[in-house]
Amino acid sequence: MADAVHCKGCQRHLPEDARRRPGISISAQGDERSLSWWWCEGCGVYTRKEFVDRFHGDPDVYFYGPFPKDVGDADLARVATCANAGDKWCECAVHKHFGSD
């Protein structure tokens, strides 16, 4: 997941230390999706990175946002409530919220 992350608000490069923890891994239609949130100090918004490891085919990376601080903070707070955020097979409400099947 070495793809460079650029803020969806101001387009500036976001260094690794801009990534906020925790992240979450989910299983969706046979693919593993790993979501991470990145904070831009420059414009005060979050960018969400989604790495998709395809069951069949090459992986993809998508970027979403910009998300206001309160939205990104709420997502991260929700993820933090799952003790198994890295377990793509977890069936808790948090994983279901983010699209696990």
Instruction: Name the band, by pLDDT with cuts 50, 70 and 90, for residue 2.
Output: low
pLDDT of residue 100: 52
- Quick one: pLDDT at residue 101? 43
User: Bridge partners of 47?
Assistant: 38
Show the beta-strand stretches assigned E in the chain.
Answer: 5-6, 13-14, 19-28, 31-40, 45-53, 60-68
Which token pair is 14? 């976001």
Compute the mean pLDDT over every residue in the chain, rounded to the nearest whole number. Answer: 90
Q: What CA–CA distance (Å, rounded) separates 29 from 40? A: 31
Q: What pLDDT, on a 0 to 100 scale, did the predictor assign at position 31?
A: 85
Does position 28 have pLDDT exceeding 60, yes or no?
yes
Residue 46: predicted pLDDT: 97
Computed on alpha carbons and rounded to an integer, the radius of gyration of the chain in Å comes to: 13
Task: Find the mean pLDDT for residues 23-45.
Answer: 91
Q: DSSP letter at 60?
A: E
Which residue from 63, 52, 62 is spatially nearest to 88, judged by alpha carbons?
52
pLDDT by residue (tens digit) across 49-88? Answer: 999 988 887 889 999 999 999 999 999 999 999 999 999 9
